[in-house]
């Protein structure tokens, strides 16, 4: 067997990206993935004719890294409606991107949760973020997102009814305690262009990248117990030796395998409940936000089968209901609570929806209370590196860039011969 140059732990976007670029540089790479498929937290399951994304994910057209690896046309992307449908005090109003939907801006103008001043400031925020570069945004003074929105002059009513559920739908921060820099980067991406879904689910992106790798590069259902300077120890006791190791898992698992905190591990979580119905509760493929702050638990709803009918069997629709707030409900109680709330939105017909599956994503997004620096690679030792969006901004773009930049660093170190060959016994 040819000696392994680089072991990559994790087949999420950063690990796949690192593997792709390392192989292009002629290195022998092995990717170890604990689950049965690639994609990390952006995977899709096929079940009884449904395509179930593990949480509601979207492809952002502002992403540039993915097109360097795959042909985007093969994803068969379709754009969602460019804005949000806000449910607030018994009514629905569209909050739209004025660049794309000038007719529906009337609905935005009539929204009763925002004062005239709020609406003017919303347009001002849109203009500011649209014209500011990402590099500029991450260097602006930092504070909590709530503090930033308050200082910008938005009313408490608009913050509670719109910004909370909208940012929770994207970075899972309902409390608005994440870094304002972090939030502005996401808002700019949302304001800048459409978001989309692949025909075969968000997992199609990772599987398309994996298809660019050499045969047998990824070993699925392979759990790493410990990383060392010259390889990894598996949970079954086997040891795989390599010249370099790249840790490309979520931060919690990375720290456990390293035996120390090598990455910031603060994170947000989300639960996604899937239901099926014969008739969709709305006509547009738009994210519906819950603007009713208080004891309600549903944050946002999306019907992916309105975008791609292939998400559900013929004659059926798939509804994704997302919960971001913390709760102590079991799965059955959570299901009943969500349906009861949504019956106030769409009527009692909601109680006829059939539950398909519930996902609890414990590491849905890195939580950034302060974004003090943006890094895309971290050197743990001379032969061990960490990569992933936990180091910077939680996104596909950051993860892919992190893998690429880490691969570049290792390739240069490999050329220079800056690695040690040691026995496993010497690392104990």
Residue with tokens 């596909």: 396
Helix (H, G, I), strand (E, B) or coil at 395: coil
Residues 6+ apart with CB under 8 A from 286: 80, 81, 83, 84, 85, 94, 302
pLDDT at 427: 38
Residues 6+ apart with CB under 8 A from 392: 374, 375, 376, 398, 402
- For 347: left if phi > 0, alpha if psi spans -120 to 50, otherwise beta; the answer is left
Residues 6+ apart with CB under 8 A from 66: 59, 72, 205, 209, 396, 397, 400
81 closest CA partner among 107, 55, 50, 43: 107
pLDDT at 176: 95
* Maximum pairwise Cα distance, the chain: 70
pLDDT at 415: 81
pLDDT at 318: 98
pLDDT at 423: 38
Helix (H, G, I), strand (E, B) or coil at 417: coil
pLDDT at 407: 98
Residues 6+ apart with CB under 8 A from 25: 407, 411
pLDDT at 108: 52
| 144 secondary structure, DSSP code | B
Edge to edge, what strands does the sheet with 83-88 contain? 91-96, 83-88, 287-290, 298-302, 317-323, 267-277, 354-366
* Domains of the chain by start residue, with CATH: 4-43+203-264+371-427 (3.50.50.60), 79-196+267-366 (3.90.660.50)
pLDDT at 33: 98
Residues of the chain with pLDDT under 70: 1, 97-113, 419-428
pLDDT at 83: 85
CA angle 122, 180, 166 (to 5 degrees): 50
In tens, the pLDDT along 99-116 reads 555 445 444 544 566 778
CA dist list (Å): 200 to 38, 212, 300: 14, 18, 22
What's the start-to-end Cα distance of the chain, in Å?
25
């Amino acid at each position: 067997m040819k000696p392994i140059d680089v072991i990559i732990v994790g087949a999420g976007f950063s690990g796949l990206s690192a593997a792709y670029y390392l192989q292009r540089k002629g290195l022998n790479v092995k990717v170890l993935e604990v689950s049965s498929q690639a994609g990390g937290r952006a995977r899709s399951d096929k079940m009884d004719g449904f395509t179930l994304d593990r949480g509601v994910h979207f492809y952002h057209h502002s992403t540039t890294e993915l097109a360097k690896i795959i042909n985007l046309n093969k994803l068969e992307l379709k754009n969602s409606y460019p804005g949000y449908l806000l449910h607030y005090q018994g009514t629905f109003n569209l909050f739209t991107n004025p660049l794309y939907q000038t007719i529906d801006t009337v609905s935005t103008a009539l929204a009763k949760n925002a004062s005239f001043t709020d609406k003017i400031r919303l347009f001002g925020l849109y203009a500011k973020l649209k014209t500011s570069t990402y590099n500029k945004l991450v260097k602006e003074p930092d504070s909590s997102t709530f503090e930033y929105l308050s200082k910008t002059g938005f009313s408490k009513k608009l913050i509670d009814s719109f910004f909370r559920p909208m940012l929770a739908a994207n970075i899972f921060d309902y409390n608005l305690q994440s870094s304002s820099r972090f939030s502005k980067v996401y808002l700019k991406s949302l304001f800048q262009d459409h978001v989309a879904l692949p025909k075969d689910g968000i997992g199609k992106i990772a599987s398309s990248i994996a298809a660019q790798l050499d045969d047998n590069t990824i070993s699925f259902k392979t759990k790493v117990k410990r990383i060392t300077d010259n390889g990894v120890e598996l949970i079954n006791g086997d040891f795989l030796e390599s010249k370099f190791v790249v840790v490309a898992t979520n931060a919690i698992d990375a720290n456990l395998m390293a035996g120390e905190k090598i990455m910031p591990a603060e994170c947000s979580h989300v639960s996604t409940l899937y239901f099926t119905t014969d008739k969709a509760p709305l006509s547009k493929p738009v994210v519906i936000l819950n603007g009713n702050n208080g004891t309600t638990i549903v944050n946002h709803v999306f019907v992916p089968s309105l975008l791609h009918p292939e998400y559900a069997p013929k004659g059926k629709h798939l509804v994704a209901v997302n919960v971001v707030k913390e709760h102590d409900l079991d799965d059955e109680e959570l299901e009943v609570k969500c349906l009861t709330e949504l019956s106030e939105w769409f009527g009692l017909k909601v109680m006829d929806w059939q539950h398909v599956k519930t996902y609890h994503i414990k590491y849905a997004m890195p939580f950034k209370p302060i974004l003090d620096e943006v890094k895309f690679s971290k050197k743990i030792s001379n032969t061990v590196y960490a990569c992933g969006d936990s180091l910077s901004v939680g996104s596909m773009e950051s993860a892919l860039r992190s893998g690429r930049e880490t691969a570049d660093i290792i390739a240069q170190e490999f050329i220079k011969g800056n690695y040690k060959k040691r026995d496993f016994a010497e690392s104990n």
